[in-house]
Amino acid sequence: MNKQIEDSKKVILNTYTKFPVVFESGEGNYLIDSNGDKYLDFVAGIAVNALGYNNPEIKEAIENVVNKGVFHTSNLYWHPYEAEAATKLTNLSGMEKAFYCNSGAEANEAALKLARKFGSKDNRYKIISMNHSFHGRTYGAVSATGQDKYHKNFFPLLNGIVYADYNDLESVEKVLDDKCCAIIVEPLQGEGGIIPATKEFLEGLRKLADKNNLLLIFDEVQCGMGRCGKPFCFQVYDIKPDVLTLAKALGGGIPCGSMVVGKKADNIFEPGDHASTFGGNLVALSASTVVLSKLENKDFLKNVEEKGKQLTIGLQKLIEKYPDKLTSTRGLGLMQGLVVKCNPIDIINGCLENKLLVVRAASDVVRFVPPLTIKEEEIDLMLKILDKVIASI
């Protein structure tokens, strides 16, 4: 075994099943391992590295902060990047205000607390979440996650979360009562298996939220930030949430999360209600400003849409070629899943051996979430490797 892996295993808590590879550098849409081998990356740090590796603009933005030597000031004081980053976020989303934190789970914790405070004046506290959803690993976020496997061994969970079936409005109506204050939903489920919401479902949730004075929270931690071909996934559906949670690609690789709120939710929190020591520090927001600038560029987003189409067509051809091994493809833009009949791990391991990185979602899906800068010839190469691997299984 690689010495670095051996050393790490002795001192790193065993919470991850890691692949036996050590990455030391990267260039464009490739990661480079400790032997100098290049891997084409369709994982992107699990939908994080939207601009790939060694991106000069992100490096320059961070270097500007590093050169001044102040990385963090706390949220007791203002700093030069927060207005710029939040202005981009609110302009791009058409929402009002942003709260910064460091991760997706934290963004959802903020949203859950906001929902509880919203409901507290009339004693409403229930939050409707969806089966197969994933909202993070902290207690609130994992309680809102509608998958038993993440709950097992961790009871009791946060009280007052009720679960409904995704893309099934009747199931939501069944759990809705006068104690509910919010609905939380991923417009495109990620960890649950790359399952897009139907437009009718999101429209129905919007109507239910309006009629019953609920906060509609969209968790776009994975599917937001340009990945679906618009700045935010809700814009693909043209259905606006009251609360939007973001992280992953928001910092281009630097930990950064945010809860962005619309008019219905911009006056709920007051000083003292919620906070984060590191949330929105100078390093994170300098990097975030660069990623958000890309989302202001229509050509950048058009490219995501086009590359998404190329990916779908390529995956569909593979499904036609291997009907006994592959079932279907689903997703939006550059967040796609290939539903397989075999064990996805066999495909993922085969790809790794062929210097291609892909990742699983749910138990039967191979997921593709490359950097948004992925090129036409890189998608072709990925499909060629995938073809070879599937043929060999």
336, β-bridge pairs: 331, 368
Q: Which residue is nearest to ligand PLP (CB)?
A: 104
221 lies in the site for ligand PLP, by CB under 6 A? yes
Contact, 234 vs 241, CB < 8 A?
Answer: yes
Q: Is 150:142 a contact under the CB 8 Å cutoff?
A: yes
The least distance separating ligand PLP from the CB of residue 46, rounded to whole angstroms, comes to: 6
Tokens (6 digits) for 308: 């998404």
Of 241 and 350, the one with the shorter C-beta distance to ligand PLP is: 241
φ and ψ of 13, to 5 deg: -60, 140
Listed ranges 86-94, 102-110, 164-172, 325-333: which one lies at the site for ligand PLP (CB under 6 A): 102-110
C-beta of 242 vs 378, nearer to ligand PLP: 242
Q: What is the DSSP string of 353-391?
A: HTTEE-EEETTTEEEE---TT--HHHHHHHHHHHHHHHH
Closest by Cα among 345, 280, 377, 380 to 79: 280
**Amino acid residing at 204:** G
105 binds ligand PLP (CB under 6 A): yes
Task: CB nearer to ligand PLP: give 81 or 134.
Answer: 134
| Minimum distance from residue 293 beta carbon to ligand PLP (Å) | 22
331 in Cβ contact with 236 (< 8 Å): no
Q: Which residue has the tokens 């990916």?
A: 311
CB of 161 to ligand PLP, least distance (A): 15
Q: Which stretch binds ligand PLP (CB under 6 A): 69-77, 97-105, 333-341, 346-354?
A: 97-105
Per CB under 6 A, 190 contacts ligand PLP: yes
391/393 Cα distance (integer angstroms): 6
CA distance 116 to 320: 48
User: Does residue 41 interact with ligand PLP by CB under 6 A?
Assistant: no
Nearest distance from C-beta of residue 123 to ligand PLP, angstroms: 28
8 Å CB contact between 140 and 149: no
Contacts of ligand PLP in 124-153 (CB under 6 A): 134-136
Tell me the closest approach of the beta carbon of residue 258 to ligand PLP, in angstroms.
Answer: 11
Q: What residues between 228 and 247 interact with ligand PLP by CB under 6 A?
A: 247
- C-beta of 225 vs 385, nearer to ligand PLP: 225
196-205 burial, b at 16+ Cβ within 10 Å, e below that, comes to: bbeeebbebb
Q: Which range of residues in 100-108, 205-213, 356-364, 367-375 is near ligand PLP by CB under 6 A?
A: 100-108
Q: Could you tell me which stretch among 99-107, 123-131, 310-318, 369-377 binds ligand PLP (CB under 6 A)? A: 99-107
The residues that touch ligand PLP, with contacts defined as CB under 6 A, are 103-105, 108, 134-136, 186, 190-191, 219, 221-222, 247
